[in-house]
Amino acid sequence: KEYYLSLPEKKLVSPRMELVEILAKKCQVRNPSVYNWLKRGVPNKRVAMVNSIIEIHRESREGK
């Protein structure tokens, strides 16, 4: 029982994948769109939102 309780409750996700999923959800796009942004740059209309999401994500990761 102790070992069972020591295991993470959910599957661990890499921080990069977690960020892509968060950005996609908050910006209401699919994950491939976010990957395109990483290659080609974030569209001007999304820059402010993406920067805000990244800052929140960074702060939450530093708190861990």
Model pLDDT for residues 7-50, shown as the tens digit of each residue: 667 777 778 888 999 999 999 999 999 999 999 999 999 999 99
H helix or E strand, kind and range, residue 3: helix 2-6
Q: Average the pLDDT over 46-57 and give the result.
A: 92
Closest by alpha carbon to 46, among 60, 33, 58? 33
Tell me how far CA of residue 41 lies from CA of 10, 15, 59, 64, in angstroms: 32, 20, 23, 29
Q: How many Å apart are CA 9 and CA 3, to the nearest integer?
A: 12
Split at pLDDT 50, 70, 90, the class of 64 is low
